[in-house]
Amino acid sequence: MVERSAGAEEKRRLILDAAVRVFAHKGFHTSRVGDIAEEAGVAHGLLYHYFASKDEVLDTIFRETWSELLTEIDEIEASPESARDQLQRVASRLLGGWREHPDVIRVLVREIARSAEVQQRIGELVKPIESIQRIIARGQQTGEFRDDFDSRLAGIVFYGGIEEVLSGWVLGQIPDGEDAVEAAERTLIDVVCAGFAATPAPTVEY
């Protein structure tokens, strides 16, 4: 039974990974269930053994990817690190997804964030923003960050910067060379967190 269960999960994972590649390169709406089955190297009917429809495949990709992301962000938020270090780790996790799983990011940006059904998922989609807002608010409470700005708006600005960079890479509007992730992370932290800091950076005189 254990071997059979492991084999079933392996097949299911094979189908989901194939679907990510197909949706990323062909687009969800122009892809067929047969395209996914062919990419996965399985019989057409086997896909329906695991998923009722193409829509369910996309929903599963979103739910499992997002659940993993939220768990990691929760762990970062619960860590004893400084608020700035926590924000840096969040930025690294979100932006690093482009280097590690670019097709997944393509699917999330093109097919989830821009879909007509986005309102149905809004409760899950805003959870990273809420974590970022709490991190910023705690930084204000501890004196690490200034307390004269709205942590809610600041969290939206921080996350919005990450989202725009990822969208820029997906849509080919921002160069995504070898050091692109590190450069984006560094720029976001240096620019945004400098504005949050309780002690202003020293003025350089020329």
Closest by CA to 165, choosing from 143, 187, 197, is: 187
**Do 40 and 28 fall within a single domain?**
yes
Question: Phi then psi for 145, rounded to 5 degrees?
Answer: -110, 155
**Do 160 and 84 fall within a single domain?**
yes
Domain assignment present for 206: no
**Do 69 and 131 fall within a single domain?**
yes
pLDDT for res 95: 94
**Do 91 and 124 fall within a single domain?**
yes
Lookup: tokens for 144: 């690490």
Domain assignment present for 202: no
pLDDT surpasses 90 at 106: yes
Q: Which domain holds residue 178?
A: 54-196
pLDDT tier, 44 (very low <50, low <70, confident <90, very high otherwise):
confident
pLDDT tier, 3 (very low <50, low <70, confident <90, very high otherwise):
very low
pLDDT surpasses 50 at 17: yes
**Do 78 and 174 fall within a single domain?**
yes
**Do 79 and 26 fall within a single domain?**
no
**Do 150 and 71 fall within a single domain?**
yes
**Do 46 and 105 fall within a single domain?**
no
Q: What is the pTM of this model?
A: 0.85
According to DSSP, residue 197 is labeled B
**Do 32 and 87 fall within a single domain?**
no
pLDDT tier, 205 (very low <50, low <70, confident <90, very high otherwise):
low
**Do 32 and 72 fall within a single domain?**
no
According to DSSP, residue 200 is labeled P
Provide the domain count of the chain: 2
Over the stretch 63-79, which tens digit does the pLDDT of each residue have? 999 999 999 999 999 99
pLDDT for res 122: 73
Domain assignment present for 190: yes
pLDDT surpasses 50 at 2: no
pLDDT tier, 119 (very low <50, low <70, confident <90, very high otherwise):
low
Over the stretch 154-204, which tens digit does the pLDDT of each residue have? 999 999 999 999 999 999 898 888 788 999 999 999 888 888 888 655 554
Domain assignment present for 40: yes
C-alpha dihedral sign at 95, 70, 111, 104: positive
- Provide the 3-class DSSP secondary structure of residue 145: strand
